[in-house]
Amino acid sequence: MGFAIEKLGQWTEGPEFKVEAERTKAYAKATNDPIPAHLNGDVAPPVFAVVPIWDTIAGAMAGVVPPEVLMLVVHGEQDMKLVKPITPGMVLSSRAAPVGIHVKPNGTTVVAKVESRDQSGDLVAEQYMTSFFRGVSDGEGAGEEAPAHKLSGATKATEPVGSITQQLDLDQTYRYAEASGDNMPIHLDAEIAKSVGLPGIIIHGLCTMAFTSWAAIQEVCGGDPTRLKRLAVRFSRPVLPGQAITTTFWAAGEENGNQVFGFETRNGDGEVVIKDGLAEVSA
């Protein structure tokens, strides 16, 4: 049941993706996003950067993961470096490569790197997507880890600079699947979700991340989505449809000329659902 280490570092080119305002607006609505520039179709929500890359990721991961463990996957981490805002009219070309396979006692992580460029060849977004295959601890590991974004205890000990509570709807996963193109059955079929050990349908990790993105825009970007330059999260517990989540932000210094904020997201029971959150914000 080993993963294909020999495929690490092999880049796969994906199809072009033309950004259309109706598609970006649909994504905003599917994530309950209130930011006017997103709802008007002027600029895509930050996490929309995942929408153009699904086919690219699928091509890069083909043959890396044993077919028999595909249904055991959950999203482990996502790290987005947002170089240029995605706007309607852009034609994005993406490439992806698996860069790390890491076998752990409770499962295996596969790290993929994705780059998206516009029609001028300019880098628009760089992403690291970490998938976690629960209970799969066979085989060998190798390659890179995703970039670090740990939220330190010292940062959490300071006074928060912002906090926001958001409500996820009972039909959130169906709306998100349609807008994003992510139709994984664990988000849409309760019986399939239960068959792989989940309590039922769970919210897409990237949908939860999208909620934290507009929380960051409201709380630490002064409402300006173009100021968000990096967003990174570690998913620590599934979010369920109908739950409320609260995201809290702390100032964490500066990096690359940007302000850095750490954040953490909890459900209504106080359980951490996103840990080690990081947002970099331009001045």
Read off the pLDDT of residues 25-58 as tens digits, 9 standing for 90 and up. 999 999 999 999 999 999 999 999 999 999 999 9
Which pLDDT value is given to residue 194? 94
Which pLDDT value is given to residue 138? 81
Read off the pLDDT of residues 111-124 as tens digits, 9 standing for 90 and up. 999 999 999 999 99
Which pLDDT value is given to residue 1? 60
Structure tokens at 54: 């699904």
Asked whether the beta carbons of 7 and 64 are under 8 A apart, the reply is: yes
Read off the pLDDT of residues 259-276 as tens digits, 9 standing for 90 and up. 999 999 999 999 999 999
Distant-in-sequence, close-in-space partners of 70: CB < 8 Å, separation ≥ 6: none
pTM of the model: 0.95
Read off the pLDDT of residues 86-104 as tens digits, 9 standing for 90 and up. 999 999 999 999 999 999 9
Which pLDDT value is given to residue 62? 86
Checking if the pLDDT of 240 tops 80, the result is yes
Domain that includes residue 111, residue range: 5-281
Of 61-70, 202-211, 253-262, the one with minimum mean pLDDT is 61-70
CA quadruple 91, 53, 113, 205: dihedral, nearest 10: 130
| Mean pLDDT estimate for the chain | 96
Asked whether the beta carbons of 261 and 230 are under 8 A apart, the reply is: no
Distant-in-sequence, close-in-space partners of 5: CB < 8 Å, separation ≥ 6: 101, 139, 140, 141, 142, 143
| For the chain, percent of residues with pLDDT exceeding 90 | 89
Total number of domains in the chain:
1
What CATH number does the domain containing 41 carry? 3.10.129.10
For residues 156-160, give the mean pLDDT. 98
The band of 20, judged by pLDDT with boundaries at 50, 70 and 90, is very high
Q: Which residues of 67-82 are buried (b: 16+ CB within 10 A; e: fewer)?
A: eebeebbbbbbbbbbb
Which pLDDT value is given to residue 64? 93
Checking if the pLDDT of 211 tops 70, the result is yes
Distance CA 65, CA 129 (A): 14
CB atoms inside a 10 Å sphere around CB 30: 23
Which pLDDT value is given to residue 88? 98
